[in-house]
A and B are shown apart, each in its own frame.
Chain A
Amino acid sequence: MKNIWIICRRELSSYFSSPIAWLLLTMYSVIFGWIFWNFLAEFIKQGIDMEMMGQSSPMNLNEQIIRPLLGTSSFLGLFMIPLISMRLFAEEKRNGTIELLATSPVRDIEIIIGKWFSATLLYCWIILFASINFLFLFRYGHPDWKPMLITLLGVFLQGAALLAIGTFISTLTKNQIIAGALTFGACLLLWVFSWVSSYDSSSWAQVFSYMSVITHFDTFDRGVLSSKDAIYYLSVIFLGLFFTARSMESLRWRS
């Protein structure tokens, strides 16, 4: 446990001492803020329009701003995740620092969890930082904070699961670009798997649809805390880290 924290802290400080964390933080905040601005402007315009026409259909901050925005941010995460996870092991392998870790009195699994956890913390931090925008909604309106938190949790879980896959892919190569590209491909694939369900309902289609990260995000997106979908994400995390451990072990036997 202590070792996990030692590794995790070093990874975090390395993210922030290289430009990568700041770059992601800035770019994500700008894009998130721009989308927030657009949704908000549309919301206000709709409100004014309705008032002018004398209609009064119900308007909802949660449904019209928070939910679509977090849905978009789970999509934006696809682009961010490879950039976060690609260096985890690839960089260590290239610099030879993996020799330090592998010959220190720590277990492989502690190294792996420490690294994955630091990536997940960075990812959550970036999302939370961008979510400051929501404070304006709470200042001037009364959105429901409970479904918002659940959707955020869904975004976090989805990120953590994809980062576990990225961690595994990062052990396969010492080239960060290759690790990043492969992770991006894997993320996209897990995304588009869900499309099959729109025209096909055979058992194969159901399997692919179940494998897709987006299928399981739906319930969180609706503000429903579903243990079934949480378990899907947790199993992907477990599987990703398990493969990482196997990959590290085979690295030792093969090299």
Chain B
Amino acid sequence: MITVQDLTKRYARTTAVDHISFSVSKGDIVGFLGPNGAGKTTTMRMLTCFFPPTAGTATVAGFNVFEQPLEVKKRIGYLPEAPPLYLEMETIEYLRFVGRLKGLAGADLEKRIAYVLDRCAVADVKTKLLGKLSKGYRQRVGLAQAIIHNPDVLILDEPTAGLDPKQINETRDLIRSLAGDHTVILSTHILPEVEQICEKVIIISKGKLVATDSVHNLQARARGAESVLIEVGARGGEFAAGNVQTRLQKIAGVSRATLREEFQNGAVFEVEASKGQLVRGDLARAIVEAGWDLNELRPAAMSLEEIFLQLTGADASKKAEPSPEPAESTDAPAPEANA
């Protein structure tokens, strides 16, 4: 459905997107993951024909974004980071305008309006001015305008940014429910969001592609070395964190145990296992057998930053030295330009 080949966008001094290639097949729901300024918005704007790439090609539904932008635009629904709403219009008036702009008319248009009003749960504000809507409603009207012409591809730029937790969940549910009919690409910098919604992830950092993989594989990759947090307590009152630490370190497969936090009758340790070793059972047994209490044992959640460090940092240290001409610095954050 979407094929991207060596897509590049250079500004005067920075390279916002640097030779990115990936493909998305029909019906996929893909997360576009990266920290702020990684080039997510820039890539999406090239896919939606908002501006042309400096180099490389991208095709959407078989049409080249540079050569046949009108055909591509007909097949794409786009929700920019800030929903593009005319604040002086009513919801239904706005949807009618966007629908007409996308080529709908007559009974078809009214049918689609009724459908998206219902689907995006904005029917109750259909005669309200957009300027008076809350952020959550605005976001949903933004989604409604993106799907009004039933596009093959939906491109959503940080659809949950700035919403409260309840709205975030609602929006995620909505996006997931749309996946059946549309191919969806959504950008985000929140890892759990990708875990919840997407099947496939494309990670970019500083304009470069870091990984494209399924969510499952990515998690496995990121947690290659298992790391767990355990809270150990002692009822007797005699508790020495050092003892526990040495005991933990003796367990086969544990590469490191560090004290994270210590309180009166207990402490929290982070235990890292060597790659491929599952040590949770052994840890639990060892602690109980030694007469301590095992209060908590949970995998240390990997933050996106840590995954990035792992995925980018490792690569960089390997490549940086032998490479004769180091890649041009793209340190400056890509201007998420307000065009």
Chain A: residues with CB nearer than 8 A to chain B? 3, 6-7, 10, 13-14, 17-18, 93, 95-107, 174, 251-255
Residues of B within 8 A of A (CB): 45, 48-52, 70-71, 73-74, 76, 78, 80, 82-89, 93, 97-98, 100-103, 145, 337-339
Q: Show 17 A/B contacts (Cβ-Cβ < 8 Å), sorted by A.
A: A6-B97, A6-B101, A7-B101, A14-B89, A93-B338, A93-B339, A95-B85, A95-B87, A99-B78, A99-B339, A100-B78, A100-B80, A102-B50, A104-B102, A252-B51, A252-B52, A255-B337
In the assembled complex, which residues on chain A have CB atoms less than 8 Å from the CB atom of B101? 3, 6-7, 100-101, 104-106
Partner of A14, one of B70, B76, B86: B86
Among residues of A, the one whose C-beta sits closest to the C-beta of B75 is: A105
Asked, given contacts A3-B101, A97-B85, A99-B78, whether A253 binds B73 with beta carbons under 8 Å apart, the answer is no
Residue of B nearest to A251 (CB): B339
Q: A10–B86 Cα gap in the complex (Å)?
A: 10
How far, in whole Å, are A14 and B76 apart by their CA atoms in the complex? 26
A105 contacts which chain B residues (CB < 8 A)?
70-71, 73-74, 101-103
Assembly CA distance A220 to B332 (angstroms): 58
The answer to whether A95 touches B103 (Cβ under 8 A) is no
Partner of B76 from A10, A103, A174 at Cβ < 8 Å: A103
Q: Would you call B338 and A103 a contact (CB within 8 A)? A: no
Q: How far is the CB of B324 from chain A (nearest CB, A)?
A: 33
Interface of B is mostly: loop
Complex interface: chain A residues within 8 A of B339 (CB): 93, 98-99, 251-252, 254-255
Query: Within 8 Å CB of B87, what residues of A?
Result: 95
Chain B's closest residue to A91 (CB) is B86
Indicate if the CB atoms of B338 and A96 lie closer than 8 Å: yes
- Cα A13 to Cα B45 in complex, Å, equals 29
Residues of A close to B103: CB separation below 8 A: 105
Q: Which residue of B lies closest to A106 (CB)?
A: B101
B106 CB to closest chain A CB, in angstroms?
12
Contact A252 B50 (CB under 8 A): yes
Interfacial chain A residues near B82, Cβ < 8 Å = 95-96
CA A7 to CA B145, docked complex, whole Å:
16
The answer to whether B50 and A97 touch across the interface, beta carbons within 8 angstroms, is: no
Give the interface centre of A17, A102, A107, A251 by most chain B CB atoms within 10 Å. Answer: A102
Q: CA separation between A104 and B151, bound complex, in Å? A: 12
Cβ B51 vs Cβ A253 within 8 A: yes
Complex contact B97–A174 (CB within 8 A):
no
Which residues of chain A come closer than 8 Å to B71, judged between CB atoms?
105
Can you name 18 extra interface pairs (CB under 8 A) apart from A95-B82, A100-B78, A104-B98?
Answer: A6-B97, A7-B101, A10-B89, A17-B88, A93-B338, A95-B87, A97-B86, A98-B339, A99-B78, A99-B80, A100-B80, A103-B76, A105-B103, A107-B70, A252-B339, A253-B52, A255-B337, A255-B339
Contacts of A96 in B (CB 8 A): 80, 82-84, 338
Q: Which residues of A have CB within 8 Å of B85?
A: 95, 97
Q: Do B98 and A14 touch across chains, with their CB atoms under 8 A apart?
A: no
CA distance A255 to B84 in the complex (A): 17
Chain B residues with Cβ below 8 Å from A106 are 101
Q: How far is the CA of A14 from the CA of B52 in the complex (A)?
A: 30
CB distance from B110 to the nearest CB of A (A): 16
Name the residue on A nearest B81 (C-beta): A96
Chain A hits for B80, CB < 8 A: 96, 99-100
B76 contacts across to A, CB distance below 8 A:
103
List of A residues within 8 angstroms of B83 by Cβ = 96
